[in-house]
Amino acid sequence: MKPNTTTRQVMVGDVAIGGGAPCAVQSMLNASAYDADANIAQINRLAQAGCEIIRMAIPKRDALDTFQAVCEASCLPVVADVHFDAEIALQAIQRGASKLRINPGNIGGWKPTDTIIDAAGEAGIPIRIGVNAGSLDEALKQRDDLSLPEKLVASATDYVNHFEKRGFKDIVVSAKAHDVPTTVEAYRLLAHEIPHVPLHIGVTEAGTLFQGLVKSSCGLGILLEEGIGDTMRISLTDDPCEEVRACWSLLSALGLRRRGPEIISCPTCGRCKVDLIGLAQRVETSLRSINTPLKVAVMGCVVNGPGEAADADIGVACGDGCGVIFRHGRILRKVPEDTIVDALLEEIGK
C-alpha cells in the first residue's frame, strides 16, 4: 500500500498531511490545561514514543497563557482544540497554534466561523473541521431521510464548501462516531465526496485500552487498507503514549510505516516449558526505547522455533528452562531462561 496521493497536502508545522505523505501520528494532551510544565513534559514523552502532532484543549480563555507557553516550548506542532468560543480560536492563532480544530456547528454560527477562517488564512495555518455524531446541527440531526454516516458527511461537506468559497483550502476533515460501522461508512463517503481533502481518521470515544484498541484497529485498519486516512489518532481512555504506540503498531502491521521493533511471539501451549508470557512482556518492555524497525521473535518451543520465525532479525526458541538464540533462522547459541532477555538485547546491539 502507498499513501494517498489524491488529497491536497496540508502542513502542520513541519509535518505534512496528505498529498502522498505518510499517515501522520497524532495524540492529545490530558494534563491540566493550566499546567504548562505538565503538558510540556507529556509532549516530550509523546515525541519519544513517536508522536508527530499533538493537540491541546483550551476550555476557557484563562487557559490561553498556558497554551502559549506550551507552544513556545513544544518540540511538536501544537493543535488548538476549541469549542463554543470563537475568541479562544482567534487568540490561539496569535499565541502560536500550528493548526486549529473546530466544529463550526458549535462555535457560534457562520459569522464567527468566517472570522476564524480569515485569521487562520492570514496566519498560514490549517483548520481541521471536526464533526462528531454527538454534535451535529439540530436540523440535520432530525432528518429521517439520511443515515448517520450520511448526516456526518453532509455536515462536513457543507463546511468544506463554505471554507473553499472563502478561498481557504488548508483544510483537514474528520467525521467520527463511537461505533466502527458508522465511522467506516462515513469516511468511505467522505473519500468519495471530497477526495481532495485530507482526512483525519479515528473512532471517537473508543473506550479503555483493550476495547479501544480492538475497535480502533478494526475500523482504522479497514480504512487504511482502502487507502483512506492521511493522519490518525487512536483514542484511548489511557496514557496518550499508548495511543501513539498503538498507531505505530497498526501502521506497521499494515506495512505502511515502521518504527521500532515488532514482536513475533507464539500463543503458548502445553509444549512450552518456560514462562513465555512473562518473557515476551519483558522483551517488549525492554525494546520500547529502540526505534530501529526490527522483527524480534519470542517462541515457546522448537515447533515454532527458528524455522517458523526464520524471517525474524533476531529471536529465541525456548526449551526446558533455556532458549536458543537465532538470527534469520541461524542458531547462534543456547542460554539459560533467566538470561534470554539480556542475550536478545546483546545480539540486537550487534
Percent of the chain scored above 70 by pLDDT?
97
Strand 314-318 and strand 322-327: the pairing is antiparallel
pLDDT of amino acid 212: 92
Residues 6 or more apart from 210 whose CB is under 8 A from it?
none
Q: Which pLDDT tens digit goes with each residue over 90-99?
A: 999 999 999 9
Range with lowest mean pLDDT among 13-17, 133-137, 230-234: 133-137
Q: How confident is the model at residue 288 (pLDDT cuts 50, 70, 90)?
A: confident
Q: Given a cut of 60, is residue 1 above it in pLDDT?
A: no
Nine cell digits for residue 88: 479562544
Range scoring the smallest mean pLDDT among 79-83, 271-275, 301-305, 308-312: 301-305
- For 127-174, give the DSSP string: EEEEEEGGG--HHHHT-SSS-HHHHHHHHHHHHHHHHHHTT---EEEE
pLDDT at 3: 67
Q: What does the pLDDT look like over 43-74, one tens digit per residue?
A: 999 999 999 999 999 999 999 999 999 999 99
Instruction: Kindly state the average pLDDT of the residues 145-154.
Output: 91
- Sign, CA torsion 154/156/162/165: negative
Q: What is the mean pLDDT of the chain?
A: 91
Residue range 22-34, pLDDT digits in tens: 999 999 999 999 9
Q: What is the pLDDT of residues 228-248, one digit of tens each?
A: 999 999 999 999 999 999 999
> Quick one: cell of 187?
469516511
Q: What domains are defined for the chain?
A: 10-253 (3.20.20.20), 262-349 (3.30.413.10)
Q: CA 159, CA 104: separation in Å to the nearest integer?
A: 7
Q: Is 321 left (phi over 0), alpha (psi -120 to 50) or beta?
A: left
For residue 304, name the pLDDT band (cuts at 50, 70, 90).
low
Query: Does pTM surpass 0.75?
Result: yes
Beta strands in 218-266 (DSSP E): 231-232, 262-265
Q: Report whether pLDDT(123) > 70.
A: yes
